Amino acid sequence: MRTVAIVGVGLIGGSFGLALRQAGFPGSILGVSSPGTIEGAIRCGAIDQGVSLEEAAGTADLVFLAQPIYGIIATIEKLKPILGRHTLVTDAGSTKQVITEAARAFLPAGNFLGGHPMAGGEKRGVEAGRADLFQGRRWILDVNEANADNSTTRVLRKWIAEFGANEVVMDAATHDRLVAWASHLPQLASTALASAIQDSMPNARAVAGPGLLDMTRLALSSWDLWNDILETNKPEVAAALDGYIAKLQALRSDMGREFANGSGFAAELRK
Amino acid sequence: MRTVAIVGVGLIGGSFGLALRQAGFPGSILGVSSPGTIEGAIRCGAIDQGVSLEEAAGTADLVFLAQPIYGIIATIEKLKPILGRHTLVTDAGSTKQVITEAARAFLPAGNFLGGHPMAGGEKRGVEAGRADLFQGRRWILDVNEANADNSTTRVLRKWIAEFGANEVVMDAATHDRLVAWASHLPQLASTALASAIQDSMPNARAVAGPGLLDMTRLALSSWDLWNDILETNKPEVAAALDGYIAKLQALRSDMGREFANGSGFAAELRK
C-alpha cells in the first residue's frame, strides 16, 4: 500500500491520516475535500496534498470515505467508472446497510470493504483530528469472501491494529441492528431527556448534578450529524425506541426488578 | 457549635465529619451507628467516638441525619422527647417533603433545617468518604423564618461554604419537583436503557462505545438506595416519566426539532 486517498477530511478522515503517519506509514496521503479543508489538513499534517476524486480513484491503493452517509453513497456512485482495478474502497459510515447496497450496485465486490471506526468527539473538522482517536476503540469491518483476499484488505487490517483499535468483523445487517441499541438509542434517550426538561422543567438546572451532565452529553450532538444515521436505520431505531418506551412503562410497575436488571447489564458492560 | 453528632455514618455522614475536620472544626464529632461502622468511622477520622442517639440528642449543638430517607423519618420521631432545647437537626435526605412533614409533626419548627447535599458516589460506606466530597457541589437548604435565626443554622451555613459547596435555598416542595427531573428521571432513563438492552439486544455490548458507558453509569446504582427516594416522590417522578415518554414519542415524528431543543438545553447546562 503506497498511496492512500481520504475523501472527506474532517475529524475522522483527518485522524485517519494522522494515525497512519504516527504508525509509520511511509507512502503518500492524498485528500479529496473543499480547498479550505485541504489547506487546513495539509497544515495539520493529516494529508500531503489535495487531489480530485478522479486522480484519487486512479492512483490510490486505498480510498477511505469519511463523509456523511449520503455523501459516501454519492461518492461510491461516482467511483464506478474511475476506480482503479485493484483499488480497495473502505468507509467510516455510522450505518452500513445502505452503503453496502450502494457498493454492491456500483463496485466490484472485491473492491469494497465496509467499515465503521467507533470513535468521534464533540468537536468536528480536521483541526480536531488526533492520531490517537482510534486507540482502544472498536473498528467494525465487514470482511467477507469477496474482499478478504484483496492484498490491501490485509494491509489495512494491519494498520488498524497498529492504531491500537480493536477490529470486530461483522456484516452490515448485524452492525446496524446492534448500533441501533448501543449507539442510536442512547443518543435519542439523551436528546429526549434534555428536550423534555427544557420543555417541562427548565428550572431543574438549579439542582443539576453530574448524573444529569452525563445523561445529556450526547444531546450536545447536532442534527446534521445524526440526520443521515437515523434516516438510514429507521426500522432498527424504531424497534429500539419501542423497546425503551415499553421498559420505561414497566419501570413504573416494578422498579425493583428493573433496577436489578439494569445494574446487572451496566456492570457487565464494564467487565 | 462545639459538638456535632452524625446519625448514619456512611458515605455522606462520614464525608461530613471529614469535611468538618479538614475545614478546621475544632469541636467534638460524635457518631450514631452500628458498632462495626463506628469502629471504621473512628479509624477513618470521620468521628471521635460513638454514642447513643439519646446522648447525641442531649449533648450536640447540631445533629446531622445521613441515613436513608425512612431511617431519617424514624430518627426524627425518636428525637421528639430527647432533643436538646437549642439543638439544630439537619439532614441529607434526597427528597425533602416527607422528611419535612415528619419534622413538622415531631420537632419545634426552629430546631429543624431540611438539607440535601447533592453529592455521592458509586462506592458506599464511610471507607469511601472524602473530605472534598461536597466541594463544587450544590447543598440545598430549606432555610425559613423559623430556623433562619437559630445560631447553629448560621454556623452550619458557614461550614458548608468552607467545604466549597454552593448553598441553594429552596423549600421542600420546589426541591422535590426539580430533583424529579434533574436527578430521579435521569436515574430511571439510565436504568431503563440498560434494562431494555439487557432484555432485547444483549449482544449490543459488542459495539458499545463511550456514549453507552456514559448513559448507563447511573444504572449501576442499586435499588436499595433508590427505593426510598422514588417511594417518597411518586407523583413528581410519575409526571417526569410521562413527560419523558411523550418526548421519546415526539422524537419519532420530528427528530430535527427535538435535536435542536435537546442540544440547546445541554449547552445551557454547561454554561
**What pLDDT is stored for residue A222 in this prediction?**
86
Residue B11 has pLDDT above 80, yes or no: yes
Split at pLDDT 50, 70, 90, the class of B103 is very high
> Chain A partners of B251 at a C-beta cutoff of 8 Å?
188, 191-192, 195, 241
B217 has a chain A CB within 8 A of its CB: yes
Split at pLDDT 50, 70, 90, the class of B237 is very high
**What pLDDT is stored for residue B72 in this prediction?**
98
Q: CB–CB of B230/A201 below 8 Å?
A: no
> Chain B partners of A269 at a C-beta cutoff of 8 Å?
194, 205, 208, 212-213, 216
Contact B265 A223 (CB under 8 A): no
A70 has a chain B CB within 8 A of its CB: no
What average pLDDT does range A100-107 have in this prediction?
A: 98
Average model confidence (pLDDT) across chain B: 95
| Rounded alpha-carbon distances, angstroms, from residue B167 to B15, B159, B182, B250 | 17, 11, 17, 36
For B:232-251, CB contacts with A below 8 A are: 238, 240-241, 243-249, 251
Residue B18 has pLDDT above 90, yes or no: yes
Contact A255 B213 (CB under 8 A): no
What is the per-residue pLDDT across A151-163, written as a single tens digit (0 to 9) for each? 999 999 999 999 9
Of B251 and A175, the one with more pLDDT: A175
A205 has a chain B CB within 8 A of its CB: yes
Average model confidence (pLDDT) across chain A: 95
Residue B142 has pLDDT above 80, yes or no: yes
What is the per-residue pLDDT across B166-185, written as a single tens digit (0 to 9) for each? 999 999 999 999 999 999 99
> Chain B partners of A263 at a C-beta cutoff of 8 Å?
191, 194, 219-223
Split at pLDDT 50, 70, 90, the class of A121 is confident
Split at pLDDT 50, 70, 90, the class of A188 is very high
Residue B233 has pLDDT above 90, yes or no: yes
Compute the distance between CA of residue B238 and CA of residue B244 in angstroms, rounded to an integer. 10
The pTM is what?
0.91
What average pLDDT does range A70-85 have in this prediction?
A: 97
**What pLDDT is stored for residue B161 in this prediction?**
98
Among residues B88, B181, B63, B82, the alpha carbon closest in space to that of A199 is found at: B181
What average pLDDT does range A70-75 have in this prediction?
A: 98
Split at pLDDT 50, 70, 90, the class of B123 is confident
What is the per-residue pLDDT across A7-21, written as a single tens digit (0 to 9) for each? 999 999 999 999 999
**What pLDDT is stored for residue A125 in this prediction?**
93
Split at pLDDT 50, 70, 90, the class of B254 is confident
What average pLDDT does range A182-205 have in this prediction?
A: 96
Beta-bridged to residue B27, according to DSSP, are: none
Of B170 and A269, the one with more pLDDT: B170
Residue A253 has pLDDT above 90, yes or no: no
Residue in A204, A217, A245 closest to B245 by CB = A245
Residue B122 has pLDDT above 80, yes or no: no
Decide: helix, strand or coil at residue A112: strand
Residue B121 has pLDDT above 80, yes or no: no
**What are the DSSP calls for A42-94, one per residue?**
HHHTS-SEE--HHHHHHH-SEEEE-S-HHHHHHHHHHHTTT--TT-EEEE--S
What average pLDDT does range A232-256 have in this prediction?
A: 93
Q: In this structure, are strands B138-141 and B115-117 parallel, antiparallel, or unpaired? A: antiparallel
Compute the distance between CA of residue B162 and CA of residue B19 in angstroms, rounded to an integer. 9
> Chain B partners of A259 at a C-beta cutoff of 8 Å?
191, 221-223, 226
B171 has a chain A CB within 8 A of its CB: no
What average pLDDT does range B248-261 have in this prediction?
A: 87
B218 has a chain A CB within 8 A of its CB: yes
B269 has a chain A CB within 8 A of its CB: yes
Contact B118 A200 (CB under 8 A): no
Contact B198 A265 (CB under 8 A): yes
Compute the distance between CA of residue A21 and CA of residue A14 in angstroms, rounded to an integer. 11
What is the per-residue pLDDT across B188-221, written as a single tens digit (0 to 9) for each? 999 999 999 999 999 999 999 889 999 999 999 8
What average pLDDT does range A117-121 have in this prediction?
A: 88
Split at pLDDT 50, 70, 90, the class of B241 is very high
